[in-house]
Amino acid sequence: MAYQVPLLINGNMVQSHTKQWLEVTNPATQDVIAHLPCATGDEVRLAVVAAKAAFTKWRRVPVPERARLMLRYQALLKEQHDELARLLCKDTGKTLEDARGDVWRGIEVVEQAAHVASLTMGETQAEVATGVDCYSFSQPLGVCLGITPFNFPAMIPLWMFPLAIACGNAFVLKPSEQDPLVPMELAKLFREAGAPDGLLNVVHGGAEVAEQLLTHEDIVAVSFVGSVGAGRHVYRTATDRLKRVQVFAGAKNHMVVMPDANKQQAINNLVGASVGAAGQRCMAISVGVLVGEAKAWLAEIKEALAKVRPGAWNDPKAGYGPLISQAAKKRVLGLIEAGKREGADCLLDGSNCIVSDHPDGNWVGPTLFAGVTPTMRIYTEEIFGPVLLLMTVDSLDEAIALVNANPYGNGTSIFTASGAAARKYQQESQVGQVGINVPVPVPLPFFSFTGWRGSFYGDLHAYGKQGVRFYTETKTVTSRWFDDEVVTGPNLSIHLK
């Protein structure tokens, strides 16, 4: 019997009493590596009760103590960096180097969370009226919920619970049911770092379990990362219950390649950003927009892409791993077929990819389409596979119009040698994260992850200052200390005198 993943409730790793179990498979082999419980209603409620109880104590813990927990946690994560990465490889199929990056980008957010004291400082102004001072400070919200996707099982949970908890909240995490092993390990290490009972709880399951949490009256804020359909549902459900919500959803990211760009740099970056992690990144470049004479680079792009091959996590020559599941592979292959049917020019077709030492993996080879138009399904839908679409335009204005007509706005990049073109693109593209000669512009944690339009629902983004604001409420105090010798009559106006 494979490992049965426990739940973390009130500080204890407990076995679920559910009758509903899911299989967690290694996507390179189909081996069942764990059985995952879909938590029962009672277990979900117990997790929230534990978090609520922990919150009442934790909110009073001095802010430097909360910061110290993050420092200890960061040190443990760093110690376990390679172990976590290896587990991540098994669970997701990512290459070792990419898995290390997934863990590292999470550790960086924990580092940022350790700055909580300065990040949550308020404002003060003396003498806003005679003898009156005004100041503001941050207070935590209560029990926050995180629902995370499969594609970054270390980084994305670490976007959420460390910062929420550093700000004084308690947390319930529902990780992806497809690769829960790393999130459980993160939770275990958080306990080892000294997190009190109930501060972080982890419950497992799919959409049904997420729904129970989302609709629970004691959950006050929801952070969600996942697909567009689920994200919209989460946003509507949670806002309808008047909760604070941030939803990070799907994407269709374009890289604009200007003819004055350094050609080899542009091609290398386009290839890496489109098929890295098998294209299963919300910031993957899925559309290359070749401007003017850069249209002639198509053959070289094809040649460079054809050299990349997928393989097992420990194969040093593998460019990327398998897709997360057989269902994901079927969906991607279906979209490749749709592209061909709709008349796009399939220059490289990875549908029949074979990796001989792992014949059962969910492999898809690098796939390249040219002649793509904006109404084709391969353009309108997020493929989330190693598939690059190429489109051509005659000018930067046309490229900007194309990018802005797409409903998503997670990330984009421009490759150019012209400062003027770069600045125009930076200012006029309706996309929240822009890279200038940087293909995947994921901001470091002292900034925030700021997808726009169809890629984000909510007001405050992940981590950085916005993440802190998301997980806190501002309280403003207006204060006067009476001087006993001066007694005035009732002030009947709104004017503070």
Contacting residues toward ligand NAD, per CB under 6 A:
147-152, 174, 176-177, 206-207, 210-211, 225-227, 230, 233-234, 248-251, 282, 382, 384, 410, 451, 455
Distance in Å, CB of 282 to ligand NAD, minimum:
3
Comparing CB distances to ligand NAD, the nearer of 369 and 384 is: 384
Sign of CA dihedral 241, 247, 251, 254: positive
Q: What is the DSSP letter of 196?
A: P
Distance in Å, CB of 6 to ligand NAD, minimum:
17
By residue count, the chain amounts to 497
Comparing CB distances to ligand NAD, the nearer of 111 and 177 is: 177
E strand spans, 331-454: 345-348, 367-370, 387-393, 408-409, 412-415, 434-436, 452-453
Q: Which of helix, strand or coil describes residue 363?
A: coil
Comparing CB distances to ligand NAD, the nearer of 141 and 238 is: 238
Q: Which of 474, 250, 476, 271 is nearest to 388 (CA)?
A: 271
In angstroms, the CA 224 to CA 467 distance is 13
DSSP strand pairing (472-480 vs 132-140): antiparallel
In angstroms, the CA 107 to CA 162 distance is 10
Catalytic residue numbers? 282
Distance in Å, CB of 241 to ligand NAD, minimum:
13
Comparing CB distances to ligand NAD, the nearer of 153 and 168 is: 153
For 303, the token pair is 């040649």
Distance in Å, CB of 37 to ligand NAD, minimum:
13
> How many CB atoms are closer than 10 A to CB 126?
9
Comparing CB distances to ligand NAD, the nearer of 136 and 227 is: 227
In angstroms, the CA 70 to CA 116 distance is 9
Distance in Å, CB of 79 to ligand NAD, minimum:
26
Q: Which of 492, 373, 472, 426 is nearest to 119 (CA)?
A: 472
In angstroms, the CA 359 to CA 421 distance is 46
In angstroms, the CA 84 to CA 102 distance is 10
CB 206 within 8 A of CB 325: no
**Taking every pair of C-alpha atoms in the chain, what is the biggest distance, in angstroms?**
91
CB-count exposure of residue 227 (10 Å: 0-12, 13-18, 19+): middle
Helices (H), 4-134: 41-58, 63-79, 81-92, 96-113, 116-119
Comparing CB distances to ligand NAD, the nearer of 175 and 311 is: 175
Q: Which residue is nearest to ligand NAD (CB)?
A: 226
Sign of CA dihedral 115, 119, 125, 126: negative
Distance in Å, CB of 474 to ligand NAD, minimum:
25
Sequence-ordered list of residues with C-beta below 8 angstroms from that of 195, at least 6 positions apart, any chain: 69, 73, 165
Comparing CB distances to ligand NAD, the nearer of 105 and 469 is: 105
Comparing CB distances to ligand NAD, the nearer of 74 and 450 is: 450
Q: Which amino acid, one-letter code, is at 206?
A: G
Q: Which amino acid, one-letter code, is at 1?
A: M
> Angle at the Cα of 172 (from 189 to 225), degrees rounded to 5?
95
Distance in Å, CB of 416 to ligand NAD, minimum:
25
Distance in Å, CB of 137 to ligand NAD, minimum:
30
> Angle at the Cα of 114 (from 112 to 118), degrees rounded to 5?
85
Q: What share of the chain is helix, strand, coil (3-state, %, to 5)?
A: 40, 25, 40
Distance in Å, CB of 443 to ligand NAD, minimum:
11
Comparing CB distances to ligand NAD, the nearer of 297 and 449 is: 449
